[in-house]
Structure 1
Amino acid sequence: MSAAAALLVLSAAGCSFIGGSDGSLSLTVPKPPAEMATLCRALHKELPKTVEGLKQRTPKPASELTAAWGDPAIKLRCGVAKPAELTAGTEHYNPYAPSAEVNGVRWLPEQQDDGYRFTTVLRKAYVEVTVPGKYAPEVNPLVDLASAVKKTVPEGVV
């Protein structure tokens, strides 16, 4: 599916970051189980140096579970919790939540105040990518990230 077509599929409904006044970027580091953290560390080693032509930044605290590119930042967190939309019994559970496949990786899109948050589905670790509206169509950075995700985070259900 093309990035533009995937964006048309998007619909749905919250990112964990704080930008510092000195241009620094803080990301909340996930605390996944050991097996998932191992996958996330492998992913970190394979992440591209640029996404959508934007240079990689080092968020604070530095962690192998987070990454960012550009300003405003495209943010990645690996090992996040299962999205509420996919969790039975939660207020936002939707067994029919739409997903979009981008270069062999399926993502759950959630519209934010300014952009989208995408979370991998049907993988052994949840990888969350938040893309500011400035980079519309917001799905495009997923094209640059899909290869690393496919290589390091196997398909499966968490």
Structure 2
Amino acid sequence: MNIFRHRFVGPALLALLIPVTGCSSADDSATVVVPTPDAKSAGQCRALHKVLPKKVDGQVRDDPEPRSAYTAGWGSPAIILRCGITRPPKMVDPKVAKGDDPDAIGGGVNGVGWLMEKQGDGTWRFTTTERETYVQVILPKERSSQDDQEQVLIDLAAAVKKAIPEGQSNMT
């Protein structure tokens, strides 16, 4: 399955995401900025945290620091998930919506819509679309092949569909 052959998701569903992962020189463990979702999104994120898979793309779950119900991680270098982020500014960027941004594309995998953005450092960032709460996934450049991208989104789809209802997010 080629994730780039899925339907375009529209201007209100596209996102620009801020960098959130890093590595500690002392222990090489992932760290993240923990989102601060509103009450409704917080509940959905806690529900997502409980149903996330133990493995993603063959990598064992190893949550980043600081520990939070709004973040999760797998492997090293870590695949990072953040739940309850605010709507990124580029979500309504007309350039992206028209398909004029070669590093941002909308698509869907197993019933979950995503904005897929290639970053200048070789990482990929994905943000859910058409869900009440935004979920962001960051793939390190070491795991950015199309096969890795596809498998990560397949592995996360069931949990996202179970915990985060379809609809318009109120996180602006």
TM-score interval, normalised by the smaller of the two chains = 0.7 to 0.9
2:133 aligned to which of 95, 117, 125 = 125
Alpha-carbon distance between aligned partners in 1 of 2:58 and 2:87, rounded to the nearest angstrom:
29
Q: Which runs of 5+ in 1 are unaligned?
A: none
1:140, distance to aligned residue in structure 2 (A): 2.2
3-state SS, counterpart of residue 36 of structure 1: helix
1:139, distance to aligned residue in structure 2 (A): 3.1
2:42 paired with 1:37:
yes
1:93, distance to aligned residue in structure 2 (A): 6.4
The alignment's C-alpha RMSD in Å is: 2.1
1:82, distance to aligned residue in structure 2 (A): 1.0
Q: Which runs of 5+ in 2 are unaligned?
A: 9-14, 100-104
Alpha-carbon distance between aligned partners in 1 of 2:19 and 2:156, rounded to the nearest angstrom:
18
2:165 alignment counterpart:
154
- Answer yes or no: is the 8 Å Cα contact 2:34–2:70 preserved in 1: yes
1:105, distance to aligned residue in structure 2 (A): 0.1
3-state SS, counterpart of residue 114 of structure 2: strand
CA gap of 1:7–1:139, structure 2 versus 1, over 3 A, is: farther
What aligned pairs does 1:1-150 form with structure 2 within 5 A after superposition? 2=1, 5-7=2-4, 14-21=18-25, 22-87=27-92, 94-96=96-98, 98-112=105-119, 113-135=121-143, 136-137=145-146, 138-150=149-161
Deviations 1:74-107 (A, max 9, x none): 100000111222146xxx7643463111010000
**For this pair of structures, how many residues does the alignment match?**
151
- Answer yes or no: is the 8 Å Cα contact 2:37–2:85 preserved in 1: yes
Amino acid across the alignment from 2:23: G
Alpha-carbon distance between aligned partners in 1 of 2:84 and 2:98, rounded to the nearest angstrom:
23
- Answer yes or no: is the 8 Å Cα contact 2:41–2:133 preserved in 1: yes
Identity %: 42
Runs of 4+ aligned residues of structure 1 deviating over 6 Å after TM superposition are none
3-state SS, counterpart of residue 139 of structure 1: helix
3-state SS, counterpart of residue 64 of structure 1: coil
